[in-house]
Structure 1
Amino acid sequence: MALRDLTGAVDFSVLEATTDGDDAISDEVLGLFGQQASLWSPMLDVRNEGWRDAVHTLRGAALGIGATALAQACQAAEAADKALAPPLLERVHDALSIALADVAAWRHELMLRSLRG
């Protein structure tokens, strides 16, 4: 992964503003985002009673790192009736996958920066 692999799904200027440009803190926040994604993504199914909690939590995490499209997908799914939610949850899954790819590329860049000193 490299910066050239970024899709634009995450506006990392949001994260940098939050962390005041501190690469170590940015990396930690992105690691936490990945952990949140791992915890909550299995619940993104209407057969799971906690699916609304999952999209709500992911929405907040997405906004914190600048993943606006993911946050919007989460908001739409959270607001939907259960019967209409399955395709919206698929959009959340798709947006999450794209955001996680951007996060991986950004974390790779942060790691390279730390090696350069």
Structure 2
Amino acid sequence: MARRDLTGAVDFAYLESYAAGDLVVVHEVLELFRQQAGLWAPLLTPGADGWRDAVHTIKGTARGIGARDLAQVCEEAELAGEGRLPAVRDALDAALADVAAYVHELMLQCLKTPSNRG
């Protein structure tokens, strides 16, 4: 998986700009997003206690990383109800796939970039 695998589910240019180009911060934010997604995913099923809180939290975080489609679907689910949860799960999966490809590319760049250590 590499940058060529990005689907556009996450606007990484937005996130990079927001982090003032600090890729260490970008990486940390994306790792937090991935960890939190693991907590949210079980709540994205109809009838699950806390699905509204999960969707609301995902919406805010998605906006913060530039995952506009995910944020939009979450907003729709807040208004329309749990019938939109499959769309939220799909959008979350798409965002996570893009995050994985982007982080993989960052790691490859680290391997290719010579260290400044003497």
Percent sequence identity over aligned pairs: 58
Q: Which residue of 2 aligns with 1:31?
A: 31
1:33 and 1:14 map into 2 onto residues whose CA distance is 15
Larger radius of gyration: 2
Q: Which residue of 2 aligns with 1:89?
A: 85
Q: Which residue of 2 aligns with 1:74?
A: 74
**Root-mean-square deviation (CA), in Å?**
1.0
2:106 and 2:62 map into 1 onto residues whose CA distance is 19
| Counterparts of residues 1-117 of structure 1 (less than 5 Å) | 1-81=1-81, 85-86=82-83, 88-117=84-113
TM-score of the superposed pair, with normalisation by structure 1: 0.91
- How far off is 1:32 after superposition? 0.4
User: What amino acid sits opposite 2:79 in the alignment?
Assistant: A
User: What amino acid sits opposite 1:23 in the alignment?
Assistant: L
Alignment deviations for residues 43-98 of structure 1 (CA, whole Å, 9 cap, x no partner): 012311200000001111111110000000000001124xxx22x10000001111
1:103 and 1:8 map into 2 onto residues whose CA distance is 10
TM-score of the superposed pair, with normalisation by structure 2: 0.91
Q: 16-25 vs 95-104, which deviates more?
A: 16-25
1:78 and 1:46 map into 2 onto residues whose CA distance is 13
Q: How many residues align?
A: 113
Please list every run of 5 or more consecutive structure 2 residues that lacks an aligned counterpart in the other structure. 114-118
Please list every run of 5 or more consecutive structure 1 residues that lacks an aligned counterpart in the other structure. none
SS in 1 for 2:8: coil
- How far off is 1:23 after superposition? 1.2
